[in-house]
């Protein structure tokens, strides 16, 4: 390995009738892998209907419970907003109080990590993304995380993001949402869509891309070395 190589773990959806105990088990097993940090791709909680009586209390209960799942994890956990985490209104406001902006970036070992809020692309986010990419044009690699894998469905909303990413030669993109594993590449860009980490699934196995898993990523100068690991295999 190179002197600056490191590894991180990516975990996926825990929404849509989450199965008790799975996410906490994932954190226990992620910690065994000793990552520099753990990245989410969103949908950590089931979320609430803001019009429902007692919605604020229910939302607090869900987040309080989720935070107990992270207790086994000593490595930092990076929050990425999913549609269940940040519904318009009450949940947007709650997210801002808990975690701050829905999109942000950080550098680690001269690699750029981008978190996008795919629930609410707007001009401010596009402007921020463009500025951030320009500011960090010469990093060793760029990793982008968002919840919705719009690159699969070719959603028009993905177009402005894709345009900003054009010419980025060292780039890997992660998402979730569909509860099915998928991998594709366009040009030099790799797109990884994770299945579930406790979220609703028929769990028919790898053949159908339906399993509880995490992704262990070793970040190198030549790009990521990715190992998809089913939870029961750790």
Which pair of structure tokens corresponds to residue 126?
A: 């596009």
How big is the CA angle at 174 (ends 8 and 11), to the nearest 5 degrees?
Answer: 50
Q: Is 33 exposed, middle or buried (0-12, 13-18, 19+ CB in 10 A)?
A: middle
Report the predicted TM-score, pTM, of the whole model to 2 decimal places.
0.96
Q: Which of 12, 96, 82 is nearest to 46 (CA)?
A: 82
pLDDT (tens digit, 9 = 90+) per residue, 89-134? 999 999 999 999 999 999 999 999 999 999 999 999 999 999 999 9
pLDDT value, residue 1: 65
User: Residue 203 to residues 12, 79, 195, 219: CA-CA distances in angstroms?
Assistant: 14, 25, 10, 29
**Cα–Cα distance between 228 and 35 in angstroms, integer?**
14
**Cα–Cα distance between 128 and 112 in angstroms, integer?**
14
% the chain with pLDDT above 90: 88
């Amino acid at each position: 390995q190179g002197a600056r190589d490191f590894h991180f773990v990516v975990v996926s959806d825990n929404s849509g009738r989450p199965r008790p105990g799975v996410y906490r088990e994932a954190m226990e097993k992620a910690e065994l892998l000793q990552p520099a940090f753990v990245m989410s791709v969103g949908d950590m909680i089931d979320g609430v209907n803001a019009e429902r009586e007692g919605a604020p209390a229910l939302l607090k209960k869900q987040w309080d419970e989720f935070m107990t799942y992270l207790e086994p994890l000593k490595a930092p956990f990076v929050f990425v907003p999913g549609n269940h985490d940040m519904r318009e209104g009450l949940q947007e406001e709650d997210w801002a109080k808990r975690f701050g902006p829905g999109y942000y970036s950080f550098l680690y070992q001269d690699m750029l990590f981008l978190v996008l809020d795919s629930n609410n692309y707007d001009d401010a986010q596009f402007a921020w993304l463009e500025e951030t990419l320009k500011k960090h044009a010469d990093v060793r690699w760029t990793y982008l995380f968002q919840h919705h894998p719009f690159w699969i469905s070719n959603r028009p909303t993905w177009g402005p993001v894709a345009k900003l990413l054009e010419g980025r030669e060292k780039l890997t993109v992660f998402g979730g949402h569909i509860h099915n594993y998928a991998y594709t590449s366009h040009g030099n860009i790799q797109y990884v869509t994770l299945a579930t980490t406790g979220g609703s699934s028929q769990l028919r196995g790898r053949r159908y891309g339906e399993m509880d898993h995490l992704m262990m990523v070793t970040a190198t100068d030549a790009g990521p070395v990715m190992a998809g690991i089913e939870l029961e295999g750790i």
